[in-house]
Structure 1
Amino acid sequence: MTPNAVSISSGPSRRSFLASTAVATAAVAGGMPLLAACGGSDSESREGATSGKAADKLLPTYVASTVAQPDLPSKNGSAAGYTGKDDLAALATSVPDKLGTGAPFRIMSPFWGTPPKPGNAYYTALDAAAGTKITWQNQDGTTYGEKLGAVLASSSIPDMVVVPSWELGGKIPNAVTAKFMDLGPYLAGDKVKKYPNLAAIPSDAWRMSIFGGALRGLPMPAAPAGFIVPYYRKDIFDEKGWSVPKSPEEFLSWAKDVTSAKAKVYACADMSWSSAGVFGVRPAGTLGWNIGDDGKLTYRIEEPAFLEALEWVRKLFDAGVVHPDDKARSGDPSQRFTSGQILVFNSDMSAWYGKTAEQAQSKPDFEIDAMDYFGADGGDPTLWASQPATIWSLIRKGASNETIENALAAANFAAAPYGTKERMLVDYGVEGTHYTVKDGVPVKNDRGNSEVINAWPMLAAPAAYFAHPDLPDIARRQVEWQQRMGVFMKKTSTYGMNIVEPSRYANLRSQFEQLELDYVRGHKKLSDVQEAISTWKSSGGDKLRDWYKELLDKNGSGN
């Protein structure tokens, strides 16, 4: 079975997700909810966070799944790992009775690639198994934020909408609290036991699903050690006898040595995402706020590391070691990576398995690996924990009880744990139609690869794990890399807190993503970035700091 993570790396909005955009969060810290401090009006109550005992009252009761124990348990914030083969004839059943009534409802979700036709064999089989009748309104994941904003601003919202954390910028967080229903009456406390797979979702992920003082989201859990991965072509490194760089200086020196414009081989893609890990830059959005050892609350762009990371990436561009298409932001860096035009690129964890499986037949010697992060001085890095949930499905306010019942039935089916018939169906589809079994391992065919993607796994998911029966060594290496890097993981003061910022600050940091792109490519000067930081502070950043200080004073710190 595949890992319970969607291949976000295929979508351009991934820059926001992977490196620098607003990330919604949920409360693990103690203290009073900020809601009381934000004022009494209905609009104001959508701002802030809910934490401590106030949040605990909203959460579903946690009942761990006992279906399959991982041979690589979670450690240092990693996902769990399964490296053995499933006995496909003895898969457990996690949904013994259909919980859906078959009533139709609509789901809007981001989709990367070409959506399958309505009524395809995969959708039909899932509906039959779960007792649902879903009309999927799949939207291009690359422009999903625009579509999401337009839909939430309209009076016509689908019954269920998938909202990724990287789209929670601007006015969307406030719209989420205004347009989607409180699921507490259906899931809080022991009520969730009607849906055992939802009950097995870790509580931290549910805390991340509290928006505007109510449990609104059905989460896709994520591993805190889910860092961006700097991949390198291990097969080529071994052939050439190259050592993996262990400092920013070593990387630049190696990059200059191996780049040959004449041979159309370049050292790397744009390394901005990985540079954040090298220099210890916090993510953007709510997670970017932190109280330092000096007791001062700062945002990521105010730290020296922010400029240091940008300056290092600019050196790579200036040295001509970055592929020209990456400088122009055209094409797919992962394809340049697999073709050998670039030797290092960064992406999320899903690319490790995805690219290896993709090249297995045509390039049997193809091998990629993940560089261990080094710090700015070549020592230990500082890596910032990812949030314990990053994607949610939500049910619109005003939905009928039957629609709610069917939406929760679908989410419960989608959240089936590894080692179950339901997980097998969600991940692989129908045997003989979407996959065949070879040497005890399910292998998707062309139809499986075109239909069994990007849909049902977006509704909800079990605790983060990796499992690749056809390439078990990849699952092992993924978990072990996360465990090694997790040793250097820290949590910001806003970790685990679902924070909805006041809408008046919605566009405060919108300029920085483009400015970062322009600066590292030589289109802007350092003084332009410094001026933007000053403008950010004077145009609302300092006032937003005061707002966050009040929030943290009342809720406590997430770290």
Structure 2
Amino acid sequence: MPKFDSQPLSRRTLLGAGAALGLSATLPGCSNTGRGGASGSNDSAAKAKVLPTYTRYGGVKADLSGAQYGIPDAFVHYPADPVQAVKEPPGDGKPIAVMTSTNTPIPPKLEQNAFWQQFNKQVGSPVQLNLTPSVDYDQKFATAVAGGTLGDIFSIGNVPQKPQMLAAKAVDLTPYLSGDKINKYPYLANLPTTSWNATIFDGKVYGVPIPRGAISSEVLYARKDILDAQGLPAELKSADDFVQLCKALTDKHKNRFAMADLPTGYVRNMFGIANTWKEADGKLVSSFEDPAQQEALALVQKLWKSGYIHPDAFTSQNQDRKTRFGNGTGPLVQATFSGWPTYLQTMDEEAEIAIIPPPAHDGSGTGHTWLGAPTLSVTAVSKSAEDRVETMLAYLNYLAAPFGTIEYLFRKYGIKGIDYQVRDGDPVLTKKGFSETQLALQYQADGPWAIFLPERKGSAETCFNAMKEVCPDALANPVDGMYSETASRKGGQLNRDISAVSDDIIQGRKPVSDWAQAVKKWKSAGGDKIAEELYTQYKSSR
């Protein structure tokens, strides 16, 4: 695959704090959103009444089928004769104004962007983009809601009283998408049923999901070529093995630190800590409350004090850790499987990626990777475009055209000879293409993920096999797709507060024992209320 979600989670999210709050921020780079009972019924029965009918696209045969493992299909080559999925341009000639977030550099303006110009022709409407870095999107979204400037299509951000906001600002898509009605939009019907759960609020479909799931699971990337050169294994049996690996890779004379960024999530995987929440004793319990959290933090603190983690880990951005991994100054990094394409782009031709599954910290077996959420984000149609709702859905259907189609090839790779070159029969983005195609199309609508890595021979198979090893036993968040009003209102501050304590502990400014008091404060300040709200929905869905 090309660029996409090179690293959709911020370092703060990697600490697990935002996720453990049950936050429902539905934008690229954050946990997925759903809907609970904040303003009405949203149990499984209510959802079942309106869920769109799933119809799998069967137009292309995978080289490696991931269905039995719960992972995406993999493709070694792009079909030589891709099919045309959309016969007529979806647009109506009028502008389509889109508001969404992005995790990539802002693309060249329309006047200097050949891909954007051609994209508008393909769509049949000029697409106007209002792009905001994902870290700033919630604030921008709240301002747009208040000011009535959401455009025609918008990614749903995190605001208080979200169900009420959607009822006021977004078109109810139930009459167009529920049940078999979605067949008018066959590539939206190709989206997994579990992803649609995140779009249903008060028994109504308010958006189109962008599916992810296993591909957004976070794992430990390793520079296999560097490990091989030092005779180091890409396999661990315990936390002690991990520490020794980090020690061996760290070389201050080469300005090399084993970890390009904090490995907090990976270390938690070693200790078998739950993915965000777990049910216990008739209630929902946050993973923050697991006693093993203190052991995990102590281990990360040890790595930090030993100088095995890059010193700028607390202040750097996503691109910084990619650069460190690519140039070898940080040969280990925690990232999502979906980041594989952009990590490849940072590396020399001789460099290789390996995935190191988490071992049990005590050497008793394997650890537990956290399974990625089914839905990355949700896109809604604004009531200001209600008279053009079918045009908007046709546009989103076009963007969801799956792998193997002409539309997918164009959408992901742009114009042949300008945005991509053909190498061994496959499209490979040029630098110009990587820049021009950053229109955040994958955050407006997208088809099911496909593992396709033409940048490096053998990469698709390597990624697929790593996912096959890790994902079937990965831990899911039991309340993915559920909504908490308290998390929506207070979650941001709760997240910042407990993340600050985690930062202080790792850097040695506070003792590990301070974690217990931080969790107690988190619970009393809103965490327990979030748990109650989510558990009410959880029970109704069983």
Question: Would the TM-score normalized by the shorter structure come out above 0.5?
Answer: yes
Secondary structure in 2 matching 1:537: helix
Residues 73 and 116 of structure 1: is their aligned pair in 2 closer, same or farther, counting only changes over 3 Å?
A: same
Q: CA–CA distance in 2 between the matches of 1:471 and 1:8?
A: 16
How many residues in Structure 1 have an aligned counterpart in Structure 2?
523
Q: Which residue of 1 aligns with 2:74?
A: 81
Alignment of 1:409-488 (within 5 A): 409-488=394-473
Conserved? CA contact 2:17–2:495, under 8 Å: no
Q: Give % identity.
A: 28
Instruction: Name the counterpart of 1:525.
Output: 511
For 1:236-247, list aligned pairs within 5 A: 236-244=226-234, 245-247=236-238
- Residue 262 of structure 1 aligns to a residue whose secondary structure is helix
Pair 387,161 (structure 1): closer, same or farther in 2 beyond 3 Å: same
Q: Does the 8 Å CA contact 1:205/1:389 hold for their aligned counterparts?
A: yes
Say if 1:505 and 1:322 are closer, same or farther in 2 by CA, change over 3 A. Answer: closer
Q: What residue is the counterpart of 1:60 in the other structure?
A: 52
1:113 aligns with 2:105: yes
1:396 has 2:382 as partner: yes
CA distance in 1, matches of 2:115, 2:127: 12
Query: Is the CA contact 1:426–1:457 (under 8 Å) kept in the aligned structure 2?
Result: no
Aligned pairs for 1:223-234 within 5 A: 223-224=213-214, 226-234=216-224
SS of residue in 2 equivalent to 1:291: strand
Superposed displacement of residue 459, structure 1: 1.7
Match 1:6 to one of 4, 7, 19? 4
Unaligned runs of 5+ in 2: 27-33
1:122-155 C-alpha deviation (Å, 9 max, x unpaired): 2222222222221111122342232223223333
2:93/2:125 contact within 8 Å kept: yes
Amino acid at match of 1:179: K
The answer for the alignment partner of 2:208 in structure 1 is 218
Is 1:347 aligned with 2:338? no
Tell me the CA shift for residue 14 of structure 1. 6.0
For residue 273 of structure 2, the aligned residue among 281, 292, 306 is 281
Q: Among residues 221, 236, 241, which one is paired with 1:250 in the alignment?
A: 241
The aligned amino acid for 1:500 is: S
Q: Which runs of 4+ in 1 moved over 6 A?
A: none
Aligned: 1:45 with 2:30: no
Structure 2 length-normalised TM = 0.88
Q: Which amino acid in the other structure matches residue 45 of structure 1? A: S
Check conservation: 2:74, 2:450, Cα contact below 8 A.
Answer: yes
Instruction: Give me the TM-score of the superposition, normalised by structure 1.
Output: 0.86
Q: CA deviation at 1:299?
A: 1.1
SS in 1 for 2:195: helix
Q: Equivalent residue for 1:70? A: 62
Distance 1:261 1:230 in 2: 22
Please give the secondary structure, in 2, of the residue aligned with 1:6. coil
1:280-319 CA-to-partner distances (Å, cap 9, x unmatched) read: 3344xxxx23213x55531111112322222211110011
Q: Which amino acid aligns with 2:108?
A: P
Alignment RMSD (CA, Å): 2.7
- The alpha-carbon deviation at position 78 of structure 1 amounts to 1.4
Deviation string 1:487-537 (CA, Å, 9 cap, x unpaired) is 322334324x33233456544444122322232122333243221111122
Measured against aligned partners, the alpha-carbon deviations of 1:224-264 in whole angstroms (never above 9, x if no partner) come to 36321211111111111112333211111232244232332
In the aligned structure 1, how far is the partner of 2:273 from the partner of 2:161? 25
1:170/1:474 Cα in 2 relative to 1: closer, same or farther (>3 Å)? farther
- Equivalent residue for 2:321, pick from 301, 309, 333: 333
Q: What is the letter of the counterpart of residue 310 of structure 1?
A: L
Matched letter for residue 21 of structure 1: G
Quote the Cα distance in structure 1 between the aligned partners of 2:163 and 2:321.
31
Aligned to 2:13: 16
User: 1:392 and 1:449 mapped to 2: Cα distance?
Assistant: 24
**Aligned mates of 2:105, 2:320 — CA distance in 1:** 13
Kept in 1: contact 2:35–2:202 (CA 8 A): no
Distance 1:542 1:206, change over 3 A: closer
- Are the equivalent residues in 2 in contact too, given 1:72–1:81 (CA < 8 A)? yes
Structure 1 residue 344 displacement after superposition: 0.9
- Matching of residue 499 in structure 1 with residue 499 in structure 2: no
| Number of the residue aligned with 1:300 | 287
Quickly say closer, same or farther: Cα 1:177–1:498, change in 2 above 3 A.
farther
Which stretches in structure 1 are left out of the alignment for 5+ residues?
27-32, 39-43
Write the distance in 1 (CA, Å) between the matches of 2:117 and 2:105. 20
Cα pair 1:118 1:135 within 8 Å, conserved:
no
Distance change >3 Å, CA 418–CA 335, structure 1 → 2: same
Change (3 A) 1:539 1:500: closer
> CA 1:259–1:224 in 2, change beyond 3 Å: closer, same or farther?
closer
1:279/1:132 CA distance change after superposition, 3 Å: farther
Equivalent residue letter for 1:79: P
